[in-house]
Amino acid sequence: MGIVITAAATAAHTDPATPASAVDLAARAARSCLDGARVSPSGVGVLVNVGVYREHNTFEPAVSALVQKEVGINLDYLADPQPAAGFSFDLMNGACGVLSAVQAAQSLLATGTTERLLITAADVHPGGDAARDPDYPYADLGGALLLERAADPGTGFGPVRHYGADRPTDIEGYLDLDTMGSGGRSRITVRRPPGHETRTGELAAAAVASYAEEFGLDLTRTLLIGPRVPLAADLHGAGDLHGAGDLRGAGAPGEAGGAGGAGEAHTAAPILGYLRALDGGARPADHDGILFVTAGAGPSAACASYRPQGW
């Protein structure tokens, strides 16, 4: 039995007249994802939200509960006891959040806890518009993945592995309470010193090499979906790298216009990379599967192989 991606979607903030909302972007991506799979919200048993940056720096209540309400996922177990009340929770692991949620989903789906699990990821500038802050590196962007069990054990996700580096992190996002003042709810400090992309790329490349060795992956026949870092150059003979990349002037899949303001995808990057890699629906020649790789603060990285149905 494999755990497969039934549908995926993204949602971008494109209206500068209204403030960006992580709840709204995650909910829009979730609804688009469910529509694409022709699944009603009542068909989702568990929702896992992995976004980090939120409007007004909201941390309570759990953003997942707010997204669940917006999407309308089994809100009243007394009025609608079937199939079951929906359960949602936040899982925060930065750029590696989606793969951490996949790891949780493998256990929940394998044990029959739920038939379908929805992962949402959205980040927005706490001030409401990332495009107005040139020092903030991320785009206002949301994404969603719908996961289900598949009868074919040869399809779906392989094991998820997490990796670290023996050095302090050089990527940080935090609330600087000493300087927040009265405008603290609309500010965030993100520190990424020069050279961080190279160091992140080195960690991601080491993670891919370790994963490939552990599970016998032929990287020349593997489609890599990775972060916006110089990764491919560190992997001799590896297949093409399909990443989310920099979103300046680019449109997100399924969206009209821009992709959420200046900057790059953060927690939704694996979802955007997946959609871009499979854009057009054609299987890349001589590729047997996909390898998701993420890397970010910690420093941490994660990898998970994936074989779509029909490959």
Domains in the chain and their CATH numbers?
2-155 (3.40.47.10), 158-307 (3.40.47.10)
Residue type, 32: S
What does the alpha-carbon distance between residue 213 and residue 219 come to, in Å, rounded to a whole number?
10
* Through-space distance between the first and last CA atoms of the chain, rounded to whole angstroms: 16
Q: What is the pLDDT of residue 231?
A: 54
Res 42: pLDDT: 87
Q: In this structure, are residues 183 and 308 in contact, taking their beta carbons and an 8 Å threshold?
A: no
d(CA 2, CA 19): 40
Q: Is the dihedral of CA 45, 95, 269, 67 positive or negative?
A: positive
Tokens of 82: 């079937």
Residue 281's alpha-carbon distances to 18, 26, 145, 277, 278, in angstroms, are: 34, 24, 17, 9, 5
Phi, psi of 109 (to 5 degrees): -75, -40
pTM of the model: 0.87
The single residue listed with the structure tokens 């959420």 is 260
List the pLDDT tens digit at each of the 311 positions of the chain.
689 999 999 999 888 788 889 999 999 999 999 999 999 998 899 999 999 888 767 777 889 999 999 999 987 777 665 656 678 999 999 899 999 999 999 999 998 888 899 999 999 987 777 777 777 888 899 999 999 998 887 889 999 999 998 888 887 777 776 666 666 666 777 777 787 888 888 899 999 999 999 999 999 889 899 876 655 444 544 444 454 443 333 333 333 233 444 688 999 999 999 998 887 555 667 788 999 999 988 899 999 999 988 77
Q: What is the largest CA-CA distance in the chain?
A: 57
CA distance 180 to 76: 39
